[in-house]
């Protein structure tokens, strides 16, 4: 009998590209297959519901909010076979080693996250996880300026593009972010 091997799946892209919704679709299929599923989210993500991951379209799935990778590891049930981690870019550096370890132990780990910050630069652990993953899906949104394919997240402050030197992490939704294509993504300096 062949032992089940673990894997890492990364679902990345800009805001509003459907990352969380795609993760939820995969998690629901795992449940239908009678697999034991647990989902985790960073405690700082309180946009829609503290104990659910929720897509911008309103699709949700129960989740456990955690402060960091250590707390996440402590809350994993030994019978869990599929682990979802939403907004992984907000976790500490230990998340990469933990996800690697979970996959090595035979778990299927499905991770979502922004691959680029509002500046258009690699964001947190996502680029590293993309290189370690067995499967990577980069989803695109729709540019709010031209209607084309959007790969970037535009942060807005009072309706204008945020400056390069503004803080990297500010949790929000459509009130302060838009999906943009490369041509319409703006990050003024100075």
Cβ-contact 180, 142 below 8 angstroms: no
**What does residue 17 show for φ and ψ, rounded to 5 degrees?**
-95, -5
**Bridging pattern class, strands 152-157 and 160-161:** antiparallel
Residue 24: CB partners within 8 Å, gap ≥ 6? 53, 55, 59, 60, 61
Closest CA to 155 of 137, 171, 138: 171
Our answer to whether residue 87 is catalytic in this structure is yes
The span from the CA of 156 to the CA of 136, in Å, is 28
Tokens of 46: 């309180």
Do residues 143 and 180 make contact, with C-beta atoms less than 8 angstroms apart?
yes
Strand 135-139 versus strand 7-13 pairing type: parallel
Instruction: Identify which of 98, 93, 131, 92 has the alpha carbon closest to the alpha carbon of residue 115.
Output: 131
- Catalytic residue (choose from 9, 21, 87, 178): 87
Q: Which residues are known to be catalytic? A: 87
């Amino acid at each position: 009998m062949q032992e089940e091997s673990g894997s890492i799946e990364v679902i990345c892209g800009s805001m509003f590209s459907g990352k969380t919704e795609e993760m939820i679709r995969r998690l629901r299929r795992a449940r239908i297959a009678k697999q034991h599923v647990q989902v985790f989210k960073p405690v700082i993500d309180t946009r829609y519901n503290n104990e659910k991951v929720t897509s911008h379209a309103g699709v949700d799935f129960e989740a456990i909010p955690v402060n960091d990778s250590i707390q996440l590891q402590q809350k994993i049930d030994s019978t869990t076979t599929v682990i979802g981690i939403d907004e992984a870019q907000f976790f500490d550096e230990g998340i990469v080693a933990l996800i690697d370890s979970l996959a090595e132990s035979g778990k299927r780990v499905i991770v979502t996250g922004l691959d680029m910050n509002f500046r258009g630069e690699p964001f947190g652990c996502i680029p590293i996880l993309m290189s370690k993953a067995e499967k990577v899906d980069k989803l695109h949104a729709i540019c709010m300026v031209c209607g084309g394919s959007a790969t970037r997240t535009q942060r807005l402050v009072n309706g204008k593009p945020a400056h390069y030197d503004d803080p990297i992490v500010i949790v929000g939704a459509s009130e302060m972010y838009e999906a943009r294509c490369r041509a319409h993504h703006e990050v003024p300096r100075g």
